[in-house]
């Protein structure tokens, strides 16, 4: 398994997120994380298991998702994305644009590829360090919780751990098959 | 230089000298224009000040999404629907008004070299009339950077303390003594967020497990936290961050994604939950009506009326703009009227005078559309920044 991050701390939580995403129900995982947050004074926060999206094609996003154009909000990997698409900003779904730095933290969602109907794990990672790209703003709301539940909130600037807390765009790298 | 040119020079000098005579008196009145640059017909040039704070002033925080380091707040004359002024803020800033209306506050983040270099966070104090900065108070532990949530920053009702929410990743509240102009320290609020200051030494915060914590602190920031569990269902029906806050009556009307209202009495050492009620009838829920937007609700204190942006949509459309504003009598728990908006709106606020104005941030091109109490459009103010997002009115 190739980890998104080389940071030991991140790898641990990434791997636990992957494990969890495949084995634990959404609500159970979310509740567990919530308790962990309270118990540990919000430590550690990242990477975050973002409330996974629906596991069936009947989910709203998957019904209209496409696999051809990553510069559109309905590109299949963006089921839990929020912000400016890096694909419109000189990068791609798994590429930060020049001059930016990928945040060492990410949250993991699962999206359905409508071509093969399989569910894949997606690492949502902000590219940071230069001003907002300002193009292709996509507002994901499914599973978005208020910021007093920070691990499930998509308004927070998730550039924690990066060399800069300035947000540029959002990427969505494929990291594995969910089942 | 030829004699002819020299003569012309003297003429020019003489005109210039003559023109300065009347302007001397003006200069003594702090004329901004250089005296030597004026002719006899020139008018004085001064810098305007805002009138004293009044109920129909509106502050519009522009988060400036495409250039977010350039956040700013516009000052709008709600009565006329015109712009009175503007001042710069920082990266994902917050804004608040002193209870006595003489000062205004920003919680701002800056980077040394625009988007890079050392980050610093400040509570910035400005004169509410001149908009000039009176003080910058460093927040050494920073502040949470998030698309601006109004209640991540607040001022105690006596005006003494400024409270700024932080998540780094410890969740805490940074406390600034606004009178002594100094940072005092942090109060930990484990697993909680948002700040509703209800008394000079108390604030309430919402927690990830659906509990509500009331924090009482002294001058040395020795704090006690009283947590009341199961106030709301954080897992299945969370309450909006921009729920309605009646600071003067210490009542917080939590509004859930579903439209359920949970009134909270915050007048004591612990939060007291009152009987919940719903914004919508069964048939309205079945037809998809639900609350949504950014600053989706606001409270009108004098009439005890709750204003909420409503739209028709399915689950997880909680940030969709409202097409109507529904107005409720919170005592009777009854809807009084609906205001059909001419453009869907992300945020809403009401002036706190007896005949309130209803302000909305319209979708699309940045615009403030103001309605009167009956729902008729009163004014439209367009081209207001990049992404105006949060509204604040005096006396709220």
Question: Token pair of A137, please?
Answer: 């703003």
For chain B, the domain total comes to: 3
Cβ of A34 and B208 within 8 Å? yes
- Stretch B256-268: mean pLDDT: 97
> Do B374 and B386 contact (CB within 8 A), yes or no?
no
Does the beta carbon of B241 lie under 8 angstroms from any beta carbon of chain A?
yes
**For residue B261, is it within any domain?**
no
Cβ of A41 and B170 within 8 Å? yes
Longest dimension (CA), chain B: 95
The catalytically annotated residue of A10, A76, A82, A126 is A126
A115 is catalytic: no
A19 is catalytic: no
**For residue B248, is it within any domain?**
no
pLDDT in tens, A120-153: 999 889 999 999 999 999 987 878 899 999 988 8
Contacts of A120 (CB under 8 A, 6+ apart): A77, A110, A111, A112, A113, A174, A175, A176, A177, A178
Q: State how far the alpha carbon of B392 is from the alpha carbons of A33, B134, B154, B280, B285, in Å.
A: 34, 21, 12, 26, 30
CA atoms within 13 A on the CB side of B189: 35
Average pLDDT score, chain A: 73
How far does the CA of residue B334 sit from the closest CA of chain A (Å)?
A: 26
Does the beta carbon of A144 lie under 8 angstroms from any beta carbon of chain B?
yes
**For residue B321, is it within any domain?**
yes
Q: State how far the alpha carbon of B296 is from the alpha carbons of B196, B243, B324, in Å.
A: 17, 7, 11
**For residue B116, is it within any domain?**
yes
Q: Which of B214, B236, B258 is the last residue of a domain?
A: B236
B187 and B284 housed in the same domain: no
Strand bridging mode B72-77 / B82-88: antiparallel
pLDDT of residue B29: 58
pLDDT in tens, A32-59: 333 333 333 333 333 444 444 344 433 6
Of A31, A39, A141, the CB nearest to B318: A141
pLDDT of residue B169: 83
Q: Calculate ∠ Cα B396-A157-B296, nearest 5°.
A: 30
pLDDT of residue B393 exceeding 80, the answer is: yes
> Do A83 and B68 contact (CB within 8 A), yes or no?
no
pLDDT in tens, A62-74: 888 999 999 999 9
Kindly state the DSSP code that residue B163 receives in the 8-state scheme: E
> What's the CA gap between B372 and B375, in Å, rounded?
5
Q: What residues in B contact A130, CB-CB < 8 Å?
A: 115
- Residue extents of the structural domains in chain A: 8-177
Provide the 10 A C-beta neighbour count for residue A112.
24
The catalytically annotated residue of A10, A76, A82, A107 is A107
pLDDT in tens, B269-314: 999 999 999 999 999 999 999 999 999 999 999 999 999 999 999 9
Task: Convert B37-87 into a string of H (helix), E (strand) and C (coil).
Answer: HCCCCCCCCCCCCCCCCCCCEEEEEECCHHHHHHCEEEEEECCCCEEEEEE
Cα–Cα nearest to B244, from B222, B262, B268? B262
Strand bridging mode A107-113 / A48-49: parallel
Cα–Cα nearest to A152, from B106, B170, B208, B136? B208
pLDDT of residue B43 exceeding 70, the answer is: yes
Does the beta carbon of A145 lie under 8 angstroms from any beta carbon of chain B?
yes
B204 and B317 housed in the same domain: no
Phi, psi of A67 (to 5 degrees): -115, 5
**For residue B173, is it within any domain?**
yes
B213 and B93 housed in the same domain: yes
**For residue B265, is it within any domain?**
no
> Do A153 and A97 contact (CB within 8 A), yes or no?
no
pLDDT of residue A151: 81
Distance separating the N- and C-terminal Cα atoms of chain B: 69
Structure pTM? 0.84
> What's the CA gap between B390 and B121, in Å, rounded?
20
Helix (H) or strand (E) holding A62: helix A60-64
Of B65, B209, B240, the CB nearest to A132: B65
pLDDT in tens, B76-89: 999 999 999 999 99
**For residue B13, is it within any domain?**
yes
Q: What is the DSSP string of B326-343?
A: EEEETTTTEEEEEEEEEE
Of A31, A139, A150, the CB nearest to B235: A31
B214: domain CATH number is: 2.130.10.10
Q: State how far the alpha carbon of B59 is from the alpha carbons of B97, B225, B280, B349, in Å.
A: 9, 33, 30, 10
- Stretch A81-87: mean pLDDT: 93
pLDDT in tens, B198-249: 999 999 999 999 999 999 999 999 999 999 999 999 999 999 999 999 999 9
ipTM reported for the complex, 2 dp? 0.88
| CATH code of domain A8-177 | 2.60.30.10
- Stretch B134-154: mean pLDDT: 98
**For residue B269, is it within any domain?**
no
pLDDT of residue A1: 33
Chain centroid to CA B77? 15
Candidate ranges A4-8, A13-17, B165-169, B349-353; pick with highest mean pLDDT: B349-353
Cβ of A146 and B206 within 8 Å? yes
Average pLDDT score, chain B: 92
> What's the CA gap between B74 and B387, in Å, rounded?
12
B130 and B227 housed in the same domain: yes
> What's the CA gap between B228 and B217, in Å, rounded?
18
B113 and B232 housed in the same domain: yes
CA atoms within 13 A on the CB side of A161: 18
Per the listing, tokens 């000189």 go with A90
CB pairs under 8 A between A and B: 119
Question: Token pair of B324, please?
Answer: 């109507």
Which residue segment(s) compose the domain that B197 sits in? 89-236
């Amino acid at each position: 398994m190739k980890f998104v991050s080389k940071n030991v701390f991140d790898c641990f939580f990434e791997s636990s997120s992957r494990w969890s995403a495949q084995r634990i129900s959404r609500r159970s995982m979310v509740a567990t994380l919530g308790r962990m947050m309270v118990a540990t004074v919000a430590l550690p926060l990242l990477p975050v298991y973002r409330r996974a999206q629906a596991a069936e094609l009947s989910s709203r996003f998957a019904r209209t998702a496409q696999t051809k154009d990553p510069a559109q909000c309905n590109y299949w990997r963006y089921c839990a994305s929020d912000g400016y698409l890096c694909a419109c900003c000189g990068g791609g779904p798994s590429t930060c644009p020049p001059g930016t730095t990928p945040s060492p933290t990410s949250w993991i969602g699962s999206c359905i590829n409508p071509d093969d109907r399989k569910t894949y794990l997606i690492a949502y990672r902000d590219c940071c360090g230069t001003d907002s790209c300002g193009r292709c703003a996509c507002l994901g709301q499914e599973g978005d919780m208020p910021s007093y539940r920070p691990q499930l909130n998509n308004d927070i600037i998730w550039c924690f751990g990066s060399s800069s807390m300035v947000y540029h765009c959002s990427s969505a790298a494929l990291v594995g098959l969910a089942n | 230089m030829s004699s002819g040119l020299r003569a012309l020079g003297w003429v020019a000098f003489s005109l210039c000298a003559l023109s300065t005579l009347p302007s001397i008196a003006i200069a003594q009145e702090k004329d901004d224009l250089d005296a030597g640059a004026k002719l006899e017909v020139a008018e004085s040039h001064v810098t305007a000040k805002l009138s004293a704070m009044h109920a129909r002033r509106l502050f519009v925080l522009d988060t400036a999404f495409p250039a977010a380091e350039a956040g700013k707040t516009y000052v709008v004359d709600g009565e006329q629907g015109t712009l009175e002024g503007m001042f710069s803020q920082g990266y994902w800033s917050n804004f608040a008004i002193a209870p006595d209306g003489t000062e205004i506050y920003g919680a701002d983040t800056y980077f040394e070299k625009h988007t890079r270099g050392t980050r610093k966070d400040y509570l910035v104090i400005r004169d509410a009339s001149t908009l000039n900065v009176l003080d910058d108070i460093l927040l050494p532990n920073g502040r949470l950077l998030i698309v601006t949530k109004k209640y991540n920053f607040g001022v105690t009702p006596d005006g003494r303390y400024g409270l700024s929410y932080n998540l780094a990743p410890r969740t805490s509240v940074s406390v600034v003594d606004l009178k002594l102009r100094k940072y005092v320290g942090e109060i930990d609020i484990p697993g909680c967020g948002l700040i509703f200051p209800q008394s000079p030494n108390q604030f309430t915060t919402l927690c990830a497990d659906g509990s509500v914590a009331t924090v009482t602190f002294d001058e040395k920031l020795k704090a006690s936290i009283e947590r009341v569990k199961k106030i709301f269902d954080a897992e299945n029906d969370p309450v909006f961050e921009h729920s309605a806050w009646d600071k003067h009556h210490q009542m917080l009307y939590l509004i859930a994604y579903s439209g359920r209202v949970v009134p909270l009495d915050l007048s004591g050492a612990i939060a007291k939950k009152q009987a919940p009620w719903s914004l919508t009838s069964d048939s309205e829920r079945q037809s998809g009506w639900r609350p949504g937007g950014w600053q989706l609700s606001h409270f009108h204190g004098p009439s005890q009326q709750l204003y909420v942006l409503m739209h028709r949509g399915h689950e997880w459309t909680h940030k969709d703009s409202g097409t109507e504003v529904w107005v409720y009598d919170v005592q009777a728990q009854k809807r009084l009227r609906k205001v059909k908006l001419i453009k869907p709106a992300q945020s809403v606020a009401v002036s706190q005078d007896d005949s309130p104005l209803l302000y909305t941030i319209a979708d699309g091109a940045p615009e403030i559309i103001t309605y009167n109490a009956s729902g008729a459009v009163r004014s439209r103010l367009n081209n207001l920044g990049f992404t105006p997002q949060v509204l604040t009115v005096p006396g709220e």
